[in-house]
Structure 1
Amino acid sequence: MNLHDWIDELCDVLDVETEVDEGLILDLARAAAKNVQKTSAPITAYLLGVAVGSRDADPEETERLAALAQGLAERWERPAGAPDPDDIDDEVPDDSGVDHTGEDFEEE
């Protein structure tokens, strides 16, 4: 079975009538996997599908949305494998020698 057969069978099972530009989807998934992380590829393709479906987008609009997503992936600033900044423990400076008498602090 080749990719075209798979797409046809999947569309039948999901009861979807659409034309699929697999090259467009694969290019987008490849850019996301390379520039963000591997697991972002199927999520990116899925979200493109949601966007296309919610707009009942024609092929030109689909290409425009895919280009936006691919551009974001290609400009992504964190290389694949880099830790999420929210998961990095920042070093807290030792200010035990500083007198904080009379200072107001907000609790987080």
Structure 2
Amino acid sequence: MRPEVQRFVAEGPLPGWDGSEAEIDRRYRQLKEIARPVTAEEAAALTACFGPDDCYGVAWTLVHLVETGPGPAPAVSGPGPDTADNDWRHTLWARWGKGDQPT
């Protein structure tokens, strides 16, 4: 896994709307530093970084980054009912064409 992906993943989930402007900007810059496409391993690791909301649109940048990986990320085997990032897993699941299949 490339160092820039490791750094982003090590910081954990994106902040919510209550995050500071500086933190949100920093995480956005970190995402933009990751060259596309990502590997399957990187895409899987990045799916753990969704936060409780869209983080002022930064979560969509993360969605698009994950989607540059080769095929559905292994960690996106279907959204779980109790995860904080459930909406984002549903989004990825549906965008990979799996939204109509039972989990």
Instruction: Pick the TM interval, shorter chain.
Output: under 0.3
TM-score of the aligned structures, taking structure 2 as reference length: 0.20
The structure number with the bigger radius of gyration is 1
Higher share in helix: 1
TM-score of the aligned structures, taking structure 1 as reference length: 0.19
